[in-house]
Amino acid sequence: MPAADDPIGIDRSDEFFPDTTGSHWEYRGQITEGPLQTIEHKFFSNVSSVVGTKTLRGVTVMVFHDTNPGNHGVSDSFYRRDSVGIVYYGSEPGTPLEKQLIPYQIVRFPMKVATSFAQFDKKDLDFGTDMDRDGVNEKADAQGDSTVVGQEPVTVPAGTFQDAVRVEARMKMKIRLSGSNKVVTGTDVMTAWFAKGVGLVKYVERQELSPLEDRGVITEITEELESYEIKPLKTSFDGSKPAPQGLFTDDARDHKLQQVLFPSSLGSDS
Note the pLDDT of residue 66.
Answer: 98
| DSSP string for 32-93 | EEE-TTS-EEEEEEEEEEEEEEEEETTEEEEEEEESSGGGS--EEEEEEEETTEEEEEEEES
Q: How far apart are CA 206 and CA 215, in angstroms?
A: 17
Cis peptide before 263 (omega within 30 of 0): no
Note the pLDDT of residue 38.
Answer: 67
Note the pLDDT of residue 269.
Answer: 34
Note the pLDDT of residue 105.
Answer: 94
Q: How far apart are CA 252 and CA 139, in angstroms?
A: 23
Q: How far apart are CA 224 and CA 212, in angstroms?
A: 32
Q: Report the predicted TM-score, pTM, of the whole model to 2 decimal places.
A: 0.83
Note the pLDDT of residue 259.
Answer: 32
Note the pLDDT of residue 48.
Answer: 98
Note the pLDDT of residue 233.
Answer: 81
- Burial of 142 per CB tally in 10 Å (0-12, 13-18, 19+): buried
Note the pLDDT of residue 88.
Answer: 93
pLDDT along the chain (270 residues), means of 10: 69 96 98 79 97 95 97 96 94 90 93 95 93 92 95 98 97 93 93 98 94 78 98 57 31 28 38
